[in-house]
Amino acid sequence: MDMFNKLTTLFQQALETREPSVNLLESFVDHWKGITNYYIETTDEMTPAKQTDIPWRLKQMLDILVYEEEQQESEETGPCMEYLLQHKLLETLCTLGKAQYPPGMSQQVLAFFSKLLTQIQQPMLHIINVYRPVQKLIRLCALPGSQTEKEEAQFLFVICSRLKQDPYVLNYILEIKREEHIKKSSSTSGDGVGIQSAEAPSIEEVPSSPLCHRTAPDTLQSEQPGPSSVPQRPPHLACPSSNDLIHVLIHLSKSQRSRVALKAHEGLSVLVNLPKEETAVCLAEGTSLCQLLAGRLCELYSMVPSSVDPTELHGFPQIHWRDRFSRGCPEKTLTFPGSEHVVAFLGWLDYCDNLAKEAQKVLSVKLAKEIHRQWLTAVVQPQLLQISEAGVLVSTALLSCIVRQVSGPALLDEVVLFLLGGQTQSELRMDTESHALRYQLIEHCDHISDEISVSTLRLFEELLQKPHRHIAFNLALRNLEQRSYITAAPAGAEDRHTADAEPLDESEELEEDPFFTGMYPEDEFGSSEQLLSLPPRQAEQRSGGQARVAEVVNSFLCLVPQEAKTSQHVQGAGYDTYVHDAHELFKECTAFSLEWGWPDAPKAPEPLPAGSDFYEGHLLKVLFDRIARILEQPYELNLQVTSVLSRLAVFPHPHLHEYLLDPYISLAPGSRSLFSVLIRVIGDLMQRIQHIPHFTEKLVHVRKQLMALEPETATDHMTLLKGVIVLEEFCKELAAIAFVKLPLEEH
């Protein structure tokens, strides 16, 4: 019993006489001495570090530091952290890692730094005895033949994450120094510290940096007088070291190990997304971040082989940069020659686009302009302007992929500026100097090579799908602003079709039913109501707008003569098939044009100066010229021309709507509209039909071949017959667009 009492007493005394700080410090120092003693006592220099007790001791030291921080009641540093900082343990570890003694020591050091900066909650990077060894360790990353890429990528990602908590120390980690005149101006400030902003106060005033208070006298040493641990503001900075954090991250992003490359990508994303505007200025003006990102884009673009199949590029899917690091990445599903290089290039383009979207505006604009300068102007433009048709074809197809891929405002601005220029005044005929690339691309739409024409038209179709005001304005609207294409009505009367105006002859038989439900047999579509069901708003406007809608729609539907129509002979090929798609496109265009300030109604027309005539602009001229030759051109080319025109017609601008979809405007002398061009095509078609026996039967046969309802066989006049089919479909598509838009245009 006495023995039991004695044991109980001893146990209670042990619990009551606790001095955790002293015990923790002794234990911490013992583990550190155990590491240093290894270098004194060992005789085997080849034993890998992971087979020694160094990793275990480093783990114990880290556990002690974390536990000490958790037990601290105040925000001051504990004795173990004081010891680590005052005795420059991190500097020593960095030296041991650089020496790679024992072998694999750098791996252990990187892991220790990563865990320390992750698990210690208090800010640390502002302390000179922390950021100096961090800088040295960064310079040891991404060296040739490195075997520690995984640990390096993790370490750098942790640094970027800590910078997100303490962004004002970015210029210290990047080793950026002020210019001399900035130092002088800073030294004249009231507190003698080079901080001009309340967001980055002096070391004694930073409440979020409790480590500073006790460590400042002993650990914050500098070559310059004053509290050097306080970061400086970033404007007008000199370039940092060529082996700094950014260079190393860019290098690791090229790693063949997907996890390493992904971690480097994520680190750069965190860095670019730092919250303070000062850090964005620092990255934009004081580092080579933007130049390196653009340079990598040029490098990957140049790796795409010139022999890649352009047809494969036009159907290439959009690439998300993270997808490249997943198991189902596009590289594994796309197998045509060169596809892996295309995926790598578009993945990096998407990455740069996302960086520009996430960054502060000053950095976003700088990155986009650098990409414009280094890549678009210096690399892409010469390829687009080259003489080789094969080269132009591949470059144009790649450019379509680029336009489809870009979505961020900053980079899209630069792509549009690169392709179209910034001109806003009306175009002049044969203006080849205002923007040479724009002129050449539009000329390629009417190239002697049909393949180049199709490829370039696809490029413009992609461009017109982007939510950017300048695209439609530059390509068409700036030439229609004055409405000089119409003859102004006397006494200020509008030139729009009135109730007593004579409708087209072809539509007279349909006036009894303004929604032309009798145009196609009821059994073809199930019922006449299914053909055109009115939306609620349109139903309210039947009394005023219904006739107007019917007349415009009928004008397009009745344009093609009956003997040249095939829809009624093939099930599921009626006009109504276009209404849904037109409605979706119109909603899409309306959604992203709401902020563009487009008018609701056409402005009053302004007559042209005497001796001048209306010029529709380079693109519309080429498109109209192509439509005029629709009966003589290849099927694929006709499809692409009509697709671009349909995309233009769906824009909710009253001038575009009037010029492309209103059959009743009174054109000024020498002017032409889309409808007037189609009228001339129909006139030509009527003459040609007279010389082709069994025209309708042959047309239906070709139609069924195109729909894969019959096997392909050789047929006379194939180009003409396919052109007629495209013409009919185009008229139905324009009718559907007019039907969707006109109810909203009526006032």
**pLDDT digits over 97-125, tens only?**
999 989 999 999 999 999 999 999 999 99
* 400 vs 640: CA distance, rounded Å: 14
Token pair 């089919």 is found at: 725
Nearest to 492 by CA among 606, 599, 654: 606
Per cent of the chain over pLDDT 90 is 60
Residue-wise over 627-660: b if at least 16 C-beta within 10 A, else e?
A: bbebbebebebbbbbbbbbbbbbbbbbbbbbbbb
Q: Is residue 37 scored above 50 in pLDDT?
A: yes
Predicted local confidence at residue 337, as pLDDT? 87
Token pair 């199930």 is found at: 526
Q: Is residue 402 scored above 80 in pLDDT?
A: yes
How many CA atoms are closer than 13 Å to the CA of 459, on its beta-carbon side?
30
Rounded average pLDDT over 313-335: 80
Confidence of residue 709 (pLDDT cuts 50, 70, 90): confident
* 45 vs 31: CA distance, rounded Å: 21
Predicted local confidence at residue 13, as pLDDT? 54
Q: Is residue 201 scored above 60 in pLDDT?
A: no
How crowded is residue 508: how many other Cβ atoms within 10 Å of its Cβ? 12
Mean pLDDT (the chain) is 81
Token pair 């687009």 is found at: 384
How many CA atoms are closer than 13 Å to the CA of 419, on its beta-carbon side?
25
List, as one string, the DSSP characters of 470-514.
Answer: HHHIIIIIHHHTT-TTBPPPGGG---S--TTSPPPGGGGGGTTST
Of residues 540 and 205, more confidence is placed in 540
Q: Tens digit of pLDDT for each residue in 413-426?
A: 999 999 999 999 99
Predicted local confidence at residue 293, as pLDDT? 97
Rounded average pLDDT over 277-287: 92
List, as one string, the DSSP characters of 168-215.
Answer: GGHHHHTT--B-HHHHHHHHTSTTSSS--STTS--GGG-TT-THHHHH
Predicted local confidence at residue 9, as pLDDT? 59
* 747 vs 742: CA distance, rounded Å: 10
Measure CA 257 to chain center.
25
Per cent of the chain over pLDDT 70 is 78
Measure CA 233 to chain center.
30
Confidence of residue 199 (pLDDT cuts 50, 70, 90): very low
Q: Is residue 713 scored above 50 in pLDDT?
A: yes
Structure tokens at 99: 């020496």
Q: Is residue 656 scored above 60 in pLDDT?
A: yes
Confidence of residue 190 (pLDDT cuts 50, 70, 90): very low
Predicted local confidence at residue 4, as pLDDT? 53
Predicted local confidence at residue 649, as pLDDT? 96
List, as one string, the DSSP characters of 143-166.
Answer: -TT-S-HHHHHHHHHHHHHHHHHS
CA geometry: angle at 349 spanning 348 and 352, to 5°?
85
Q: Is residue 236 scored above 60 in pLDDT?
A: no
* 328 vs 338: CA distance, rounded Å: 18
- Least confident segment among 299-308, 352-361, 693-702: 693-702
List, as one string, the DSSP characters of 624-687.
Answer: HHHHHTTTTS-HHHHHHHHHHHHHHHTS--HHHHHHHH-TT--BPTT---HHHHHHHHHHHHHH
Predicted local confidence at residue 342, as pLDDT? 94
Rounded average pLDDT over 588-614: 86
Predicted local confidence at residue 326, as pLDDT? 80
* 697 vs 725: CA distance, rounded Å: 13
Predicted local confidence at residue 558, as pLDDT? 92
Confidence of residue 550 (pLDDT cuts 50, 70, 90): confident
Residue-wise over 325-359: b if at least 16 C-beta within 10 A, else e?
A: eeeebbbeebeeebbbbbbbbbbbbbbbbbbbbeb
For residue 90, CA distances in Å to 52, 57, 136 come to: 19, 14, 10
Which residues make beta-bridge pairs with 667?
486
Confidence of residue 543 (pLDDT cuts 50, 70, 90): very low
* 252 vs 104: CA distance, rounded Å: 19
